[in-house]
Structure 1
Amino acid sequence: MTFPLVRMRRLRRNQLLRDMVAETALTCNDFIYPMFVCPGQKLRQPVPSMPGVDRFSVDTLVEECKKVRDLGIPAVMLFGIPEKKDPLGRGAYDEKGIVPQAVRALKKAVPGLLVMCDVCLCEYTDHGHCGILDKKTVHNDATLELLAKAALAYAKAGCDMVAPSDMMDGRVIEIRETLDNEGFEDLPIMSYAAKYCSAFYGPFRDAADSSPQFGDRRSYQMDPRNVIEGMREVALDIEEGADIVMVKPAMPYLDVLTRVREEYDLPVAAYQVSGEYAMLKAAAEKGWLDHDAVMMESLYAIKRAGADMILTYFAKDAAKQLAGGK
């Protein structure tokens, strides 16, 4: 049947009808809020390239996470900024390091909040790469043990999930075996499986002070031109024991996200990264875009493409919008 019997506009006449027939639902349960924790006390340091995002000391992190929980956001992802950096990234796997400190504080003071920990060395190495070096090359196999040690340190502190983001081959199985051998067989792994070497990470490196001191990360993060390679990465991480797989960044890689969702039946996450956040914030500050409208449209796009959960710096703002703008 065709027009005039079929009129697609009939179900768009008002908001109630549009809501009833909406194909994609977004709730606070979809959000994971990335947060940066640093040494010190009573610190809340704004990140200039990410308006509305701060670095927190452990005490102020706890207070902020209470607000996050009260907004209905179920989970946070912690990134640590150590007091000192070194070639081996020792702060990443120090059981008394900044992230274990934060985990212990949050699990004690903020019940009902899932605490996830990013597992990587880039914030902790003085050279800024995600693994240890053999001359000017990141040594894949030598890095695996240190990543597993970091995951174990976070597990011992009481985290609810670990999330390796380093893109070393074999990291998931190394972490899984280490956790299992230490009695943490029930701790899930969210793998940054299809993580691309993206120009959209710039503001994050500002926040985490993790820019490489030489070269780039193209030898271990994925080539933005490739999709099939991303599917292979996801398949391998699933075989190695990943419980959730992630596509990162989100909006520039919605095609990859949809392919992963269609092919695999385990939960899929997407990371709306710092550059995606910063460019929308900047355009909104200029008055060129409607902040709340483009924020929500971008999140619906990521959910529509297949994400079961979204890591986003917009989590608090979006939660308020979903609650009616309060």
Structure 2
Amino acid sequence: MDSDVVGDKLDSSANSTEGEKRTSWFNRLKAGLSKTQENLVGRVRSLLRAGRKIDEELMEEIEEILIQADVGVNTTMMLMENVRDIVHSKGLSDSSDLESVIQQEILSILDETDQPLDISDHQPYVILVLGVNGAGKTTTIGKLAHRFRSEDNSVLIAAADTFRAAAADQLQIWCDRAGAELVKGSQGADPASVVFDAVEAGKSRGVDVVIVDTAGRLHTKKPLMDELAKIGRIMERTISGAPHEVLLVIDGTAGQNAIIQAKIFHEAVPVTGVAITKLDGTAKGGIVIAVKHEIGAPIKLIGIGEQLDDLRDFVAKDFTAALFQQESHLEENLMVDG
């Protein structure tokens, strides 16, 4: 058989496998967002299908649905003001035209956030992970370690939450699963000293990625903020430009409390990216839209399950399509490529 034909078949098979993986993820994303879809999009559709004319009463009912789905008051007001402007400029009167307008406005809030983690510019690439206890921080770190290791990158994790007794033990389990190293101190030790040791070790050993866990005790706000700022200074002195990513982990079921938490962390260390977890367990996934609008930092990762590969890069078009239970733009691209 001609070698070019063999090569074409291999390429086709590889593309098909990759396409199947991407489609499978999108289907899982749709399933994970089904509760939010029912609570937000489903209820809006019920209003629009009633054949009503577009008036202020309808707009206010839509606003109420968005707020109840945790899109938040500020974000909802901004989004619906844009919808009103489009309705007026295009002279829309039929409520059936509104769904596509609302979807496009949601996408416009999220679209610029497609900024996946790129560790290629630095070695080691240092990721500082923030978040309140219970947000899924440890699991997110573990899944990130697994992802980087599966891509043949070496990983070192710093257990800098030295106040929570089980923190280092939980990270050790994830390190064992992923094949990553762990640097930890004794309970109650200075977190900054653990970070210094970890970053120094990562640099001297030629590690590709250093992931730093931190405490999430918001009830001790001032000491925690001081601690995070100190950790940031230690990193910068040890490795130029570090931390290269400040990743805030937010519990997707936390509602508007997540916005308050995010703003507090953002004050201490400017957040460069957000990971939103547990979206499969909530009807209030509108928090994704609110977080982007209120915090401004790009959403980089979303989690929709307990499997190791259930933490993925955030793609705004996929998220919006899944929220509206439509086909993925990935599937459209695959059909074009085929």
TM-score by structure 2 length?
Answer: 0.36
Structure with the greater relative contact order (CA < 8 A, sep ≥ 6): 1 or 2? 2
Report the structure number with the largest CA radius of gyration.
2
- State TM-score, norm by structure 1: 0.37
Tell me which protein shows more helix as a share of its residues.
Answer: 2
Greater per-residue strand proportion: 1
